[in-house]
Amino acid sequence: MNKVLFVVGPTASGKTSLALDLAPKINGVILNADSRQVYKGLDIISGKDIPDKAEFVKTENPTKNKKYNVGYYKFNSTPVYLLDLVTPTYEFNVYDYLDITIPTIDKVIGLDKIPIVVGGTGFYIKALLDGIATVNIPQDKKLRKRFEGLQIEELQKIIKKKDPEKFLKMNESDFQNKRRLIRAIEIAQYVKKVGKREGKIAKLENMSVLIIGLTATREIINERIDERVEKRITQGALDEAKKLFDNYKNLSEQVKTGGGYRDLFEYLKGNIALEEAVEKWKVTEHHIAKKQIVWFQKDKRIKWFDITENKFEIKVKKIIDKWLK
């Protein structure tokens, strides 16, 4: 059976370096699963860590979307796909991710290599693994605009009326979430118009999957984050932010809200001092790590490894070898 390896975990847990270490040993190719690293120009702050002289090698676009910049960077000898896929003004989302990633995985397998999906965006990874029933229901910009101005209570009433089933299924948190309420209405509206709810669910099928999770205590992760932030500042994070800031009004929401980006943008807007922005960046990254930990901890398929344990890589390699046989 075809095999796909995943390496997941919070930011700063060392996913990329583990994957780069593993790839040559198992004839693997890396596929990014990070919602901000798909953007061109988000390099240092997003932690892309592309080697200095690496060149982007374009490959054939397997999708209908001409906006994707498809190809890979070579990290030493290992190709890394799904970086620099779109420009910072593009509103990338999980639909796009499935759209490009599924055929890319097929392609890698066709080359007789093992895809290694590496990243911290749990939602994208879950979508790949389990599919999203409503992923083919497109966004309705007009509808979104129309409902954006409404109060939560009004949106709640609407969904209660349009899709009572969904209404009953929503929990307290989602029920207060404007964004999710609007999407629910969007789906209800679409179903009413088109008559059916879900199309074919896009996801990986008939694959043998192994998911490696990297972890450590929150304290350790936070320390590593702080160090990384400091390092990125010296690597030119501010220049990167400035470059993007020049085009601020056209940036996608995803870029504007990215960890580090939003904090440095606040500085560039003149709202806070640079030092404060850096401190905020660290806190933002702590939040991100926390969220990732919470997300991944409930997925029972993940095999966890503590990165502070001596030679944990050897254990990882062992379990992979067993899985490959």
| Positions that interact with RNA (CB under 7 A) | 34-37, 42, 45-47, 91-96, 120-124, 130-139, 144, 171-174, 176-180, 182-183, 187, 218, 253-254, 257-261, 283-284, 286-288, 290-292, 294-295, 298
Please state, in angstroms and rounded to a whole number, the distance separating the CA atoms of residues 1 and 302.
Answer: 19
Shortest distance in whole angstroms from residue 25 CB to RNA = 26
By beta-carbon proximity to RNA, the closer residue of 142 and 311 is: 142
Nearer to RNA, 70 or 202 (CB): 202
Residue 190 CB, nearest approach to RNA (Å): 9
Helix (H) or strand (E) run with residue 304 in it: strand 302-306
Q: Which is nearer to RNA, 114 or 140 (CB)?
A: 140
Shortest distance, CB of residue 298 to RNA, whole angstroms?
6
Residue 301 CB, nearest distance to RNA (Å)?
15
Closer of 35 and 104 to RNA (Cβ)? 35
Residue pointed to by tokens 């979104």: 144
| Whether the Cβ atoms of residue 88 and residue 255 lie closer than 8 Å to each other | yes
Residue nearer to RNA on the CB measure, 212 or 225:
225
- Spatial contact of 13 and 307, defined as CB atoms under 8 Å apart: yes
DSSP 18-46: HHHHHHHHHTEEEEE--TTTTBTT--TTT
Q: How far is the CB of 40 from RNA (least distance, A)?
A: 13
Q: Which of 285, 246, 243, 247 minimizes the C-alpha distance to 263? A: 285
What is d(CA 159, CA 167) in angstroms, rounded to the nearest whole number? 6
Residue nearer to RNA on the CB measure, 112 or 275: 275
Q: Please, are residues 201 and 131 in contact by the beta-carbon 8 Å criterion? A: yes
CB of 325 to RNA, least distance (A): 32
Pairing between β-strand 28-32 and β-strand 207-215 as defined by DSSP bridges: unpaired
Residue among 155 and 307 whose Cβ is closer to RNA? 155
Q: Output the smallest distance, CB 196 to RNA, in A.
A: 14
Amino acid at 169: K
Distance CA 139, CA 133 (A): 14
Rounded CA gap, 271 and 252, in Å? 21
